[in-house]
Structure 1
Amino acid sequence: MDGVVSETVVVCPSCGETAGAGARFCESCGAALGGPTPEATTPEPSSAEASLTPPGPDGDADPTPPPAACACGGGVAPDGYCEQCGARAPVARDHLEEQPAPHVAGVTDVGVRRRRNEDAMALGVAGDVTVLVVCDGVSSAPDSDVASQAAATAARDVLVAGAADVTRGDAGAWSRLLVEAGHRADDAARDAVDDAIARQDPPSCTFVAAVVGRELLAAAWLGDSRVYWLPDTGTPEQLTEDDSVAAELMAGGMPRAAAERSPDAHAITRWLGADAHDATARTVATRPGGPGWVLACSDGLWNYASAPEVVADLLRDAVGRVGADPAALSRDLVAWAKAAGGHDNVTVALARVTWPAAAATEPAPDTNAEDPGTAPTVRRRSPGSLPEEPDPPAP
C-alpha cells in the first residue's frame, strides 16, 4: 500500500500479491491476511471507482449505486470492501456480457487477481455489418477503466453509423472508417477524465476493432489487443500485429514464446490517451473463404493462448463442449483464461460469419498507400525502449 514503510513482506495466500506489514486484507483480491488491523488498510479509490458501473444504452454511466451489503451480510465501505469480512464487493463492471444479435456476443471480466476491470468492449450490428471493439486500460494509470469504456463506445458508434456509407467490398473505405473510429476513440479517452491532460500519468488504453461484412473482414489496432480470423477449415490467422516490445523482439527473430515471456513483453509502444504520440490506427483487410469466427480479445486471453493455431484449437474445443452460441463461447473462453491463471482482466468478443464461396479465390482490392489507414506497417518506438539498447545521445 502506498505510503506504508515496513521491513516485513506479507504475501496474500489467495492471489500471491504482497501487502504491507500489519495489513489485515489483501488490497488486490480482498482475502484475509491475518494480523492486527491497522488504522487504515485499504487504499483510496480512484476518482471514478466509487461509481464504476456499466454503460447504459446511450453510452452514459448507469446510475445504479454499488451494493450496500456484502454476501456475508456486512456493510460495504466507501472504498468497496466489506467492513466485516474484508472481501471486495463486486461491481457490475467486474463481469459484463453483451449480445446485440444472435451471431455476435462478448464477455469482459475482471479476472482473478485485478482489483478492477479496466477492459472494455462495445459491439454493434448495422444491417449486414458486425462491429467488435475491445479496449484494454493501462493498469499503471489511474482511471484507465473510464478511458477504455469511453474509447470503445465512441469507436463502436462511429463504425455502426458509418457502415451505411461504405461499399461492402471497398477495403480502402473500411480502412478510412476504422482510422476515423480510432481517432474518435482517442478523443473520447482524452475527454473521459476532466484533468487527464494535466496528469503526469494520464489514463490510456489499447484499441482494436473489427468490421465484418458480406465480402470483407477489416481490422484496426493500437497496442496489443488482437483480432484473429479462425476458419472452420484452413489456416487460422492473427490479423493484427502488436505494438509492443514483444512484437519488436519477434521482428528481430526471437521466437514467439520467448518474446512473450520477456520481462518487458507487455510494454506497449502505441496507445490511446492524452500522452499518445500517434493515434492513427494501423489496418488490415482480408477476404477469407468459407465459414468461421472473428475473435477480438485483450491480452487477458492471449496471455495463455497466443499463436493463432492454439487459439483455433481452444475455440474448436469450446464449440464441441458448449455449442456455437457466441455468448456461451465467449463465457467459456473467459472462464478458461481465469482457470489458467486469470492474472489480468479478460475480454472476448466473437462474431460468427459465413463467407460467399467465391471469396476464397478473390484477393482483397488494392488500396491507396497514401491513405493513413492503409499505409504499410511502420514500427514506431522511442530510442532506448528496448532492453539493452543504449539511451540516445544528449543534444
Structure 2
Amino acid sequence: MSADDSSLVRCPSCGENAAPRARFCENCGTPLGSSDASVPSEVTLDVAPTVVDPDPATGDTSGRRPCGACGGTIAPDGYCADCGTPGQSERDHFEERPAEWVAGVCDRGVRHPRNEDAMALATSGTFAALVVCDGVSSAPDSDVASLAASRAARDVLVAYGPEGASSVVGATSRRIAGWTDAMVAASRAAGQAVRGAAEQLAATKGKNVADDPPSCTFVAAVVDHDLIVAGWLGDSRVYWLPDSGQPEQLSIDDSWAQEMIAAGVPRAQAETSPQAHAITRWLGPDAPDTDARCAATVPSGPGWLLVCSDGLWNYCSDAHEMDELVRRFATSGDPHATAAALVRWANAQGGRDNITAALARVSPTVTEQR
C-alpha cells in the first residue's frame, strides 16, 4: 500500500496502517468501521445490561438483604442500617440480563477474598455476545485486568454486528470466517485493554508492574442466528448443550492439564494433578500472543450455550455431566435463574474459586446452505 493511497486506513488507537475496507486493526483489534454499507459496523442493544445485587445465599433481589455481621438489613446505600457494616459489593457479585434469552452471574465464591472473574454480555435480535475473563490469582490487580478485558472484547464483537441468515451457497462458511476474524480482533483488543490497565496501575500506584503484571484468561462466544463461534485463551470454557444430540465442549483448554490429557492421561487424573490449572496462554503485558483460538458450530436444533470460568467446571468438567447439571436447574427455561442456580451449586460444592456462568438459550429456526 502506498503512502498516498486515498483508501489507506489508520487505526485511531495505535496508529497502525490497515488495509482498505478493513473493519479491525490487525495490531490491537480496535474497530475501524467499514465503507461497505451492506455490513453493519455497529449494533443497537435491545436492552441495556441489567446489574442487580442479590442475596448470594437465596438469589433474592428484593433489596432487603440481611447483614452478615448483625442480621440487620442492608440499606440502598450498601451499608447495614443497624450496624453500618458494608454489604457485598457489586464487584463481588453481579448479574447481567441483556435479553430474556441471555443472562449471566459472576460471583466471588466462598474462599477468595475478592472476585477476579468478570463478564460482559450483549444482545440484539438473534445476536448475542458472551465474554468471560478470569483473573490470574497469582498476579496482582487481576480483577482490574479481567473487567477491562471482558468489556473491550464485548465492544469489538458488538461493533462487528450480526450479519444475519442467508440462503446463498457458501454463506455459512463466510460468516464463520468473518466471526473468527472478529473473535481474534476481540481477543487482541482485550489484551490491549489489560496492557492499558497495567500502565494505568503503574502510573497511579507508583509501582513497576513489569515483573508481576495483571493478567487473565479469555473466553467468548457469539450467537448469530443459527451460528455459534467461540474463541479462547486459557482455561475458561464454552459448552454447547443441545436438547437433542451430543453435548460438547467447544473450547480446548490452554493448560497443563489439557497437555496431559493430550498425552493420554485420563481426564480425572489430569484435572486433579498439582499443576492442572497452570495455564499456557493468557492475556497480559507478558503474554506471548493474544490471538484467540476459535471453533464454530451450526446447531440443528435448540439448546443451551454456556460460557463459564473454572470456578464452575472445576466441579463438573465433562460435557455430558455439565449437560446434566444445567438441565437439572433449567426446568423453567430461564437463563438467569439457571445461571444463578449454577453459581449457588458451585458455592455449595465448596466455592474454592470465583464463579461465572453465562447462558444463552439458542433456538435456531433456519439452517443455511454451506
User: Smaller-chain TM-score range?
Assistant: 0.7 to 0.9
Q: Which residue of 2 aligns with 1:174?
A: 179
Determine if contact 1:135/1:205 at 8 Å carries over to the other structure.
yes
Q: Please show how residues 264-275 of structure 1 align to structure 2 within 5 Å.
A: 264-275=275-286
Q: Please show how residues 283-362 of structure 1 align to structure 2 within 5 Å.
A: 283-320=294-331, 323-356=332-365, 358=367
- Of 257, 270, 278, the residue aligned with 1:259 is 270
* Unaligned stretches of 5+ residues in structure 1: 1-56, 59-68, 75-81, 366-395
Q: Please show how residues 206-217 of structure 1 align to structure 2 within 5 Å.
A: 206-217=217-228
Q: How many residues align?
A: 289
Q: Which residue of 1 aligns with 2:213?
A: 202
Q: Which residue of 2 aligns with 1:161?
A: 159
TM-score, normalising length: structure 2 = 0.73
Q: Which residue of 1 aligns with 2:235?
A: 224
Q: Which residue of 1 aligns with 2:192?
A: 187
Distance in structure 2 (CA, Å) of the matches to 1:260 and 1:223: 14
The runs of at least 4 consecutive aligned structure 1 residues that moved more than 6 Å come to none
Q: Which amino acid aligns with 2:92?
A: D
* Structure 2 CA distance for partners of 1:164 and 1:228, relative to 1, 3 Å: closer
* Structure 2 CA distance for partners of 1:351 and 1:278, relative to 1, 3 Å: same
Determine if contact 2:165/2:225 at 8 Å carries over to the other structure.
no
Q: Which residue of 2 aligns with 1:142?
A: 140
TM-score, normalising length: structure 1 = 0.68
Question: Which structure is higher in RCO with an 8 Å CA cutoff and minimum separation 6?
Answer: 2
- 1:98 is aligned to 2:96: yes
Identity of aligned residues (%): 57
Distance in structure 2 (CA, Å) of the matches to 1:302 and 1:73: 32
Distance in structure 1 (CA, Å) of the matches to 2:150 and 2:71: 36
Q: Which residue of 2 aligns with 1:249?
A: 260
SS at match of 2:195: helix
How far has the Cα of 1:355 moved from its partner? 2.1
Q: Which amino acid aligns with 1:203?
A: P
Distance in structure 1 (CA, Å) of the matches to 2:365 and 2:165: 16
How far has the Cα of 1:167 moved from its partner? 7.1
SS at match of 1:230: strand
Distance in structure 1 (CA, Å) of the matches to 2:240 and 2:352: 25
Query: 103-112 or 155-164: which moved more?
Result: 155-164
1:345-386 CA-to-partner distances (Å, cap 9, x unmatched) read 000000001123646xx6xx5xxxxxxxxxxxxxxxxxxxxx
Q: Which residue of 2 aligns with 1:47?
A: none
Give the CA RMSD over aligned residues: 2.9
